[in-house]
Amino acid sequence: MIGIFDSGLGGLTALRETARLLPGRDIVYFGDTGRVPYGTRSPETIVHYALQDMRFLCTEGVDIVLAACGTVSSTALCAIRGGFDLPVIGVVEGAVQAALRATKNGRIGVIATGATISSGAFAHAIAELSPRAAVTSVACPMLVPLVENGYIADDNPVTALVLADYLEPIRAAGCDTLILGCTHFPILTGAIARALPGVTLINSGAEAAKLLAAQVPPTQPDETGQIRYYVSDSVPGFARLASIFLGEPVETEVTRVEIERY
Ligand code: DGL
């Protein structure tokens, strides 16, 4: 069984791609909706939350985990890999590889949460694979609350205004490729594409799902493609917004977890 977690809804962009690539595998999704956002918190708190999220997924019997959160992937991946005896895939590696394949001028933008940008994880990973690439990184803390509150239409005027401000350094640097380093951001793909026409957008959650799909068998004898959803806060709110992220209604039951117990 595959475990996927995020601070909230963003990881559903990775779940969507995972379920598309591996329709026969069972998936457990945990969204820490009671404690989102992670990206404004200290590395210590992010590690503490990520370890609790992992412990919960382990009680569900997962044998591989996709940390579908840019913030966790860039600040807590070593801690969770060291603490659990199962493979954990983050969202940095696949996105960086895809960006380097896509860029023609070697100028790559990264947008993500404050914690992710402060960690330097995307910029370091790019520098390791391609030292000559020029990276422009911008923290975009207001995008997560906009997404979690449904300000996601391509022409939403509030989101457009915020994006215009955040994306100006990316435009000014002439980036031809932009990594959406927070898994909430692909839901704003239309709005971001309007602000940066012609720039290739890299969906970090979807790229991580491709890495995951390459590592696991597409079927298991006891799995039938079931998806179970767990959250740490209000369940009805989750199902409504989650259906937008998934592009289809959430028909299975969503269960609330007391995550502080783990
Ligand atoms: N989806 C998370 C990320 O990729 C969310 C951000 C947050 O919780 O602040 O970073």
- Residue 113 CB less than 6 A away from ligand 1: yes
Residue 10, domain CATH: 3.40.50.1860
Cα dihedral across residues 215, 211, 3, 88: positive or negative: positive
> Does 67 share its domain with 120?
no
> Does 121 share its domain with 146?
yes
Rounding to the nearest 10 degrees, give the CA dihedral for residues 251, 31, 232, 35.
Answer: -150
Structural domain range at position 44: 2-90+207-261
> Does 97 share its domain with 200?
yes
Q: 205 with 186: CB under 8 angstroms? A: yes
Contacts of 124 (CB under 8 A, 6+ apart): none
Question: In the annotation, is 58 catalytic?
Answer: no
- pLDDT, position 39: 92
Rounded Cα gap, residues 70 and 117, in angstroms = 10
> Does 198 share its domain with 137?
yes
> Does 99 share its domain with 67?
no
- Residue 184 CB less than 6 A away from ligand 1: yes
> In angstroms, what CA-CA distances link 3 with 30, 76, 236?
8, 16, 22
Q: Would the pTM of this model clear 0.75, i.e. be above it?
A: yes
Domain boundary among 158, 180, 204: 204
Q: How many domains does the chain have?
A: 2
> Does 159 share its domain with 217?
no
Rounded Cα gap, residues 211 and 218, in angstroms = 13
Domain boundary among 188, 204, 220: 204
> Does 55 share its domain with 97?
no
> Does 143 share its domain with 242?
no
Q: 108 with 133: CB under 8 angstroms? A: yes
Question: In the annotation, is 182 catalytic?
Answer: yes
Tell me, in angstroms, the distance from the centre of ligand 1 to residue 252's CA.
Answer: 24
- pLDDT, position 239: 81
Burial class (CB in 10 A: 0-12, 13-18, 19+), 221: exposed
> Does 118 share its domain with 198?
yes
Tell me, in angstroms, the distance from the centre of ligand 1 to residue 116's CA.
Answer: 9
- pLDDT, position 33: 92
- Comparing C-alpha atoms, which of 67, 233, 244 is closest to residue 254? 233
Q: 109-120: per-residue pLDDT in tens?
A: 999 999 999 999
- pLDDT, position 127: 98
Rounded Cα gap, residues 29 and 66, in angstroms = 10
> Does 115 share its domain with 166?
yes
- Residue 39 CB less than 6 A away from ligand 1: yes
Q: 77-105: per-residue pLDDT in tens?
A: 999 999 999 999 999 999 999 999 999 99
Rounded Cα gap, residues 204 and 186, in angstroms = 8
Strands ordered across the beta sheet of 107-112: 134-139, 107-112, 177-180, 200-203
> Does 68 share its domain with 105?
no
- Neighbouring CB atoms inside 10 A of 17's CB total 22
> Does 121 share its domain with 250?
no
